[in-house]
Structure 1
């Protein structure tokens, strides 16, 4: 099964989670039932919901429970999402990320995405996880929101690129170095992540309200297209609904 190769993205929040489980496959329901901690359980469901909605939209199918239940979101051995529709591999790369009650799915060739909050990062975090050049760029920004955004932007771009490499945070984050450009009228700014071995992963970033979204890939291309509706992240409030009831 083939889908369009232009990168695309979609965001959904916890409020979109259905009350029942008829939109899940039997394997997904079994997996969710075994998750004892509320945070892991809700994030598991939210990532699958946004992935299923994105895939259904790309395929031109209505996002009704029967359609969503025919889309199974599993994981490859390295942890990357593995999607089947009616039992058939999707035939497209897909990346998932979640943060503070919101999740994003990005679809495109060799893609990786990451969602972060604009929040304070300690000087120790910047020194431990960012390269010297990245540290200089972050600390050159005015203290406060601008510096917080810069630190989280660099961190997010690293995570997106490490997802492209299918290694995640198992690898030293200083093995990849981030360069970012200013956003354009559409809200997207270019970025480039260079691996220590010399490979470069081009991509894009945008700030939407309290959130930062980064997307990286193996090849250069236009900014990701929003699959449907408006940018929900722009007016979204971070949520930590699990904090008051950590156990299911």
Structure 2
């Protein structure tokens, strides 16, 4: 990856970049892509990849590792294979080395067919989530046990044919929040209420959040964005911006091959 690739993709001030990799399409079009990505990962990462029983899960894991490594290398003079990663006790990943001149913060999310990476220099509490709308769940049962009363009431007002999509839109917002905080499964999802419009929109759109209980004072600090992609995926991103706008630029990429900004998808959550 040459240094001339960096300029147009450098982070600007306090923005967040969202990088999208529709990896199944790339695998179908390029027979060498798996070999090139395998050359980037560490022996321990390869061991984790091979622990997955099914090839589709191995492919998803490898796509995620290739994506985060190449996205970070667009921001720092570091080859993609040189990055080393750790995780907190509750599983939030972070960069162990090498040190970048400006600290980089990232978060990854993946579902079958799509991997997304969020990266920022300004927001250390940064989270992203993606879910396939085709993934079937007992939406209302899960909502009753995990969501706030206001969110449950909102879901019950959604037409049945849109219910699963609406549930996934709320779920990705919840996941983006707890991934940003690093609390993982210890977080009480009902402590935060997301106010999506009725009917839900494709986006991208800012989604107001209200925090309850011990988290109430945090509400003014956070900003969230939610969108649907290709009528197949729900994607959400959130960050503790200390109340400042959350500015996002969006890029599509095939790591080590090509990448392109999608300026029509840029969005600010004020």
TM-score (norm 1): 0.76
Following TM superposition, by how much is the alpha carbon of 1:53 offset from its aligned partner in structure 2, in angstroms?
2.2
Q: 2:167 corresponds to which residue?
A: 151
Equivalents in 2 of 1:194, 1:76: separation in Å?
27
The root-mean-square deviation of aligned C-alpha atoms, in Å, is 3.0
Q: 1:221 aligns with which of 245, 261, 264?
A: 245
TM-superposed deviation, 1:216:
0.6
Deviation for aligned residue 1:225: 0.6
Aligned ranges 1:179-198 → 2 under 5 Å: 179-181=195-197, 187-196=203-212, 197-198=215-216
Q: Does 1:57 find its partner at 2:88?
A: no
Q: 1:127 to 1:186 in 2, by over 3 A?
A: closer
Match of 2:180 in 1: 164
Where does residue 100 of structure 1 map in the other structure? 112
Q: CA deviation at 1:36?
A: 4.5
Q: How far does the alpha carbon of each residue in 1:104-140 deviate from its partner, in whole angstroms, 9 at most, with x for none?
A: 1001212101001224542312222221100111121
Alpha-carbon deviation of 1:180? 2.7
Q: Confirm whether residue 207 of structure 1 aligns to residue 231 of structure 2.
A: no
Which of 116, 125, 138 is the matching residue for 2:131?
116
Instruction: Evaluate the alpha carbon distance shift between residue 94 and residue 133 of structure 1 in structure 2; reply closer, same or farther with a 3 A threshold.
Output: same
- Tell me how far 1:82 sits from its aligned partner: 1.4
Separation in 2 of the partners of 1:60 and 1:212? 33
Deviation at 1:99, TM superposition (A): 0.8
SS in 2 for 1:52: helix
Instruction: Identify the match of residue 11 of structure 1 among 17, 20, 38.
Output: 20
Residue ranges of structure 2 left out of the alignment (5+ in a row): 1-9, 28-32, 252-258, 266-270
Q: 1:182 to 1:75 in 2, by over 3 A?
A: farther
Long gaps (5+) in structure 1: 62-66, 235-248
| Compared CA separation, residues 182 and 127, structure 1 to 2 (3 A) | closer
Q: Supply the distance in 2 between the matched residues of 1:202 and 1:59 (Cα, whole angstroms).
A: 26
User: Is 2:190 the counterpart of 1:174?
Assistant: yes
More helix by share: 2
In structure 1, distance between residues paired with 2:141 and 2:61: 30
Match runs of 1:127-142 below 5 Å: 127-142=144-159
CA distance in 2, matches of 1:162, 1:36: 25
Kept after mapping to 2: 8 A contact 1:180/1:189: no
The residue aligned with 1:244 is none
Q: Per-residue CA shift, 1:30-82, capped at 9, x if unaligned?
A: 4435x243365444322211111221233477xxxxx2212233323331221
Deviation at 1:143, TM superposition (A): 1.6
Q: How many residues end up aligned between the 2 structures?
A: 222
